[in-house]
Amino acid sequence: MNTYLLNKLLNKVTGLILIATLSSANAYAQAPKAQWMSGGWGIGFRFKADDKADIDSWDADILADQIAQMPGVSYVIFNLSDAAHGDAYIAPHSVLSVLTPSATPTSPDADPMNGRDLFMDMALAFKARGIKVIAYCATQGPAMLKHGAEKAFDALENSDGTYTSVAMDNWAAYVTQEYGDTTDDSYKKAYAEVIINEYAKRYTTLIDGWWFDHAGLGNIPLLHQTVKTYNPDAVCTFNDGQKIPLINNNPGYEDYTFGHPNPIAQTPSNSDVNLPMLTSIEDTAEGYFEADGKWSLGHMFIPIQEKWNAGALVWTQEQGSDWMGRCLKAGGAWTWNVDLTDNQSILRADTVVLMNAVFDGILTSNGTPYSWLDQYGLVTNNDYEAADLQDFDSDGQPNHEEFTAGTDPTVPDVSSTAKSQFRISSIIQDKGTLVIKWNSESNRLYSILKSSSLKEGEWVVESSDIQGLETSTSYTYTAQKSDSKMFFKVKAEAIE
């Protein structure tokens, strides 16, 4: 009974699963521009461009801080134009602000360019926090080629039931003066050369990408040329073409798919009608769709609520983790579009809770939450599987074992910091019992294994499903007469 040896506690006793991956850079003559989106996710939202009071009151740092604290978010998509309408903007414009001052943020003096540039403020705030920015633009432009005067921000209903818009009339007069007429071709050219050109020139590399809505109402080649002039590395997509399943609709012009689900007025975004979007990404090599030798990254742009920017939540955590996890693991990109709480400068609270829960439910093949790997800054290029297998602190324990053990993957096991160690801290003999104590976590289950030798295959479970306590847990072993010597080890398992 006097010879009880302490075996250093081992982490979770499981086989190591090796994941072989091929870098996208090795699969193409030149790495696709949207490669930074592959395996990553972002958040989309819309500022009310026709409500100037909201534009003035937004606190860019509050919103940027909120999103930066959410694990895994690598980019945001937000609007220059008033959501799907192209006649109002959240930033001053040298032409629009003169033609119709109410189409852009209110100027405090006579200078139309002195209105708040909310897009600039938000872009700077996000970029300072390492979050990339994609600009959403309504391609129908100030001519409102899709919705007409009835949906204009300054719409007036006439006695005969028709609608007029001063802003649209002003734009029509300007286009006639500069382009000779108001044909669709002239409107499309003016939108690219006047509206988008000015903003693209102003923001240059503050904009990492562009998302053009109802892009068939614009000149896609000219829009592409315009934005690439000021930032050749910016990624583009154009909402024009087949929605489900995903394909490369605009080869040579789109770097990622627009990812628009079936119209949510017909079916909610979580409907299985949209599942072929996901399975089409899973059917690709590394998440890319090829057409005419050009590549477009599979991207899903999904509202989390009933409407694009309002309504009750329609996704559950389980379905969200399943779909989003499968998209990211296939190499695609996923964007949740959510509602805003304007008077607090934040995303709507319940959408944040759900998005965090969804991301927390996405696990690597070893069972490590993506969110845990992000928490410790272990992930590079959205490659969670690779991060899971690395030994960040070079203490002989890969990150997935550190997660299972509840230890800090950034501090070597040889450190004296208790959080960095998973081991038996003491064994106290008291008459015929041994009190075995180890460092533990409250969200882990532990098993005690024993053996009379250190040979593999001779370990037996003494006790299992021991609920861990915060900091340390103990187990009392009653010695048997046959115990001439005994070795112990503890196995940890994360609670899902």
Specify whether the CB–CB gap between 354 and 315 falls below 8 A: yes
Of 489 and 72, which is predicted with more confidence? 72
Residue 456 has pLDDT above 80, yes or no: no
Confidence of residue 430 (pLDDT cuts 50, 70, 90): confident
Higher pLDDT, 485 or 96: 96
User: Looking at this protein, which amino acid is placed at residue 278?
Assistant: L
- Whether residue 245 has a cis bond before it, omega within 30° of 0: yes
DSSP state of 17: P
pLDDT on residue 12: 33
All residues at 6 or more sequence positions from 481 whose CB lies less than 8 Å from its CB, including other chains: none
Residue 106 DSSP symbol? P
Question: What is the predicted pLDDT for the residue at 481?
Answer: 76
d(CA 418, CA 407): 8
Range list for CATH 3.20.20.80 in the chain: 31-362
Q: What are the beta bridge partners of residue 301? A: 335
Which residue matches tokens 């965090």? 356
Alpha carbon distance 469, 208 (integer Å): 46
The string of pLDDT tens digits covering residues 49-69 is: 887 888 999 999 999 999 999
On the question of pLDDT at 2 being above 70, the answer is no
**Predicted confidence band of residue 36 (pLDDT cuts 50, 70, 90):** very high
pLDDT, residue 28, reads 64
Q: What percent of the chain has pLDDT over 90?
A: 69
What mean pLDDT is predicted for residues 7-27? Answer: 34
Cα separation, 59 vs 78, in Å, equals 15
Interval 372-418: pLDDT, tens? 999 999 999 999 999 999 998 888 889 998 888 888 898 886 555 55
**Where is pLDDT greater, at 487 or 309?**
309
pLDDT of 417: 54
Which of 478, 411, 479, 398 shows the shortest CA–CA distance to 439?
A: 411
DSSP-assigned beta bridge partners for residue 444: 494
Rounded to the nearest 5°, which phi and psi values hold at 181? -165, 180
Cβ atoms of residues 359 and 365 within 8 Å:
no
Judged against a pLDDT cut of 70, whether residue 20 lies above it is answered with no
- Reported as type and span, the H/E element at residue 301 is strand 299-303
- Provide mean pLDDT across the span 261-288: 97
Assess whether pLDDT exceeds 90 at residue 464: no
Predicted model pTM: 0.86
Q: Distance between CA atoms of 119 and 103, rounded to whole angstroms?
A: 15
- Can you give the pLDDT at residue 5? 29
**Residue that has been written with the tokens 């005067």 in this structure:** 149
Pick among 3.30.70.120, 3.20.20.80, 3.40.50.10470, 3.40.50.11540: CATH of 31-362: 3.20.20.80
Determine the distance from the C-alpha atom of residue 462 to the mean position of all C-alpha atoms in its chain, rounded to a whole number: 44
- Alpha helix (H) ranges present in 58-165? 60-68, 96-99, 118-128
List phi, psi (to 5°) of 320: -60, -45
Tens of pLDDT, residues 166-179: 999 999 999 999 99
Q: What is the pLDDT of residue 274?
A: 98
Residue 1 confidence (pLDDT): 30
Mean pLDDT over 146-170 rounds to 96
